[in-house]
Amino acid sequence: MPGKTLYDKLWEQHVVHQEDDGTTLLYIDRHLVHEVTSPQAFEGLELAQRRPWRTGSVLAVSDHNVPTTEERRGGIKDAVSRLQVDTLDANCDAHGITQFKMNDPRQGIVHVIGPEQGATLPGMTVVCGDSHTSTHGAFGALAFGIGTSEVEHVLATQCLLTKKSRNMRVAIEGELPGGITGKDLVLAVIGQIGTAGGTGHTIEFVGSAVSALSMEARMTVCNMAIEAGARSGLVAVDDKTVAYLAGRPFAPRGDQWERACAAWQDLHSDVDAVFEKEVVIDAGAIEPQVTWGTSPEMVLPVSASVPDPGAESDAVKADWMRKALAYMDLPPGKPLQEIAIDKVFIGSCTNSRIEDLRAAAEIVRGRRVSSQVKLALVVPGSGLVKQQAEAEGLDQLFREAGFEWREPGCSMCLAMNADRLEPGERCASTSNRNFEGRQGHGGRTHLVSPAMAAAAAIAGHFVDVREFGGERLQ
């Protein structure tokens, strides 16, 4: 019998019951909850007169709707957003669920605070009513996004009704050149396999380039597994994983910590494990990436030009490209480095951790945001990331350069709060989706790394960060 993949192991450890057709009752260890996808789930529980099965497994936080200006100390002005946040507060209070409320220093984006608190641990199953739950797979946890009905199901039963995915391995071998980040790496992967390349699969990221990544960068990579169609991304546990988690508030302590660390040593794929799909990518060939269209797979190296739909042989795809370019208002053949931007957003569950802010700060040090740029935002992923950045003086570097330094939240990633693009505005964004209207009605999003966003803010258009001192960045 062949060996097991990491996914096989995690799956088998959580099976409670299995139907003949493979439908499985999978036990959930950690349930992360935010305000957008939970109100109807709590309402459903109440209507059926049910109680949460194990409140200790739940950690809740409001992130999508929260304002990112200091005004929020006085509450949320937008009545619709306020109702959604108040509803989460009331539901958590009613059921005794641990929650970090808006002005708690531990508040932040759900996918930043889970790992930061040690609430995400290797070997866990982690779910959240949010597709970017794949982020937590960076810790060797089986983590995936679910819908609101499933949020209710997990609250009520501690289990999910689901079927096993297939195994896919994406190997990134070699060494990433200086200035090339986890974001560039994952965008390059999506560019190669497409937004449906991982559909029906769990992707395990392996290879020397992945081993060399920090935990923050691994989170960025797993975060965007869903943009390649895979509900879950995984990275095997190693010393970096363990070192990151040691001493975190929700992590085990004492003897329990020792036992946990020993158990985590098995959280990797066996050498003879079989993957249904495999992709190998040369890390050394990856350049800084910039998206040009309305899907994360519409991405190219910064040295390239806007592609020509006329050169695409697949008619459906060519039509899709034409629509994207019309929306983005870009002509085929235009060099990406000549695309001027109106706004810059550094933040989101993809790129708002301390390492992301350090990389961006390094680029802006001693420089000024271009006068062409109307707004440049830095939105830390959590209150604790913000504190850390301020202790390092990063906020000063950003402020002196002309960036706004904000309170934590999802912010302009999806414009459910006051931060958004106006129609026609073009943004260099460190977020994860460049879909039509994602950052605001008629807004045009270009996905990049934090260093690339910072460099674009200074130049007023896209530039190769390696020509901006970024080659020193790891």
Partner 1 sequence: MKAFDQEHGIVVPIDQANVDTDAIIAKQYLKSIKRSGFGPHLFDNWRYLDPGGPDGDNAGRRINPDFVLNQPRYQGASILLARENFGCGSSREHAVWALDDYGIRAVIAPSFADIFYNNCFKSGVLPIVLSEQTVAALFVQVLAEEGYRLRVNLPQQTVTTPGGDAFAFEVGTFRKQCLLQGFDDIGLTLQHAEAIRDYERRRREQVPWLFEQ
Could you tell me which residues are beta bridge partners of residue 428? 344, 446
246 binds partner 1 (CB under 8 A): no
Which residue from 435, 460, 467, 469 is in contact with partner 1, where contact means CB under 8 A?
435
Which residue from 6, 8, 37, 450 is in contact with partner 1, where contact means CB under 8 A?
37
Which residue from 136, 231, 406, 446 is in contact with partner 1, where contact means CB under 8 A?
231
* Nearby residues of 74 by Cβ (< 8 Å), 6 or more positions away: none
Which residue from 53, 174, 177, 402 is in contact with partner 1, where contact means CB under 8 A?
53
Q: Per CB under 8 A, which region of 46-54, 181-189, 284-292, 336-344 contacts partner 1?
A: 46-54
CA distance 59 to 8: 26
Q: What amino acid occupies position 325?
A: L
Q: Are strands 201-206 and 232-234 parallel, antiparallel or unpaired?
A: parallel
Q: Which of residues 316-345 bind partner 1 (CB under 8 A)?
A: 316-317, 319-320, 323
Instruction: Report how far Cα 282 is from the mean position of its chain's Cα atoms.
Output: 23
Q: Which of residues 159-198 bind partner 1 (CB under 8 A)?
A: 159, 161-163, 165, 195-196
Complex with partner 1: residue 202 or 209, whichever CB lies closer = 202
The torsion defined by the Cα of 441, 442, 443 and 444, in degrees rounded to 10, comes to 150
147 binds partner 1 (CB under 8 A): yes
21 binds partner 1 (CB under 8 A): yes
Burial of 240 (0-12, 13-18, 19+ CB in 10 A): middle
CA distances from 50 to 155, 162, 241 (A): 9, 21, 37
Complex with partner 1: residue 132 or 426, whichever CB lies closer = 132
In angstroms, give the least distance from the CB of 157 to partner 1.
Answer: 4
Complex with partner 1: residue 33 or 454, whichever CB lies closer = 33
Complex with partner 1: residue 132 or 353, whichever CB lies closer = 132
Q: Which of residues 65-104 bind partner 1 (CB under 8 A)?
A: 65, 80-81, 83-84, 87, 98
CA proximity to 308, closest of 291, 295, 325: 325
Could you tell me which residues are beta bridge partners of residue 25? 17, 161
Complex with partner 1: residue 253 or 368, whichever CB lies closer = 253
3-state SS, one letter per residue, for 301-359:
ECCCECCCHHHCCCHHHHHHHHHHHHHHCCCCCCEHHHCECCEEEECCCCCCCHHHHHH
Q: Per CB under 8 A, which region of 127-135, 211-219, 354-362, 389-397 contacts partner 1?
A: 127-135
Question: 């920090």: which residue's tokens?
Answer: 214
260 binds partner 1 (CB under 8 A): yes
Q: Which of residues 400-429 bind partner 1 (CB under 8 A)?
A: 414-416, 423
SS3 433: coil
Task: Report the half-sphere exposure of 394 (CA within 13 A, side-chain side).
Answer: 26
User: Which structure tokens are listed for 468?
Assistant: 């901006």
Binding mask 278-317 for partner 1 (x = CB under 8 A): -----------------x--------------------xx
In angstroms, give the least distance from the CB of 90 to partner 1.
Answer: 11
105 binds partner 1 (CB under 8 A): no
In angstroms, give the least distance from the CB of 119 to partner 1.
Answer: 7
User: Which structure tokens are listed for 358?
Assistant: 């350090």
233 binds partner 1 (CB under 8 A): no
Q: Which of residues 338-377 bind partner 1 (CB under 8 A)?
A: none
Complex with partner 1: residue 220 or 364, whichever CB lies closer = 220
In angstroms, give the least distance from the CB of 314 to partner 1.
Answer: 9
CA distances from 187 to 228, 279, 403 (A): 9, 14, 25
CA distance 338 to 359: 23
In angstroms, give the least distance from the CB of 388 to partner 1.
Answer: 23
In angstroms, give the least distance from the CB of 355 to partner 1.
Answer: 25
CA distance 73 to 407: 10
Complex with partner 1: residue 157 or 211, whichever CB lies closer = 157
119 binds partner 1 (CB under 8 A): yes
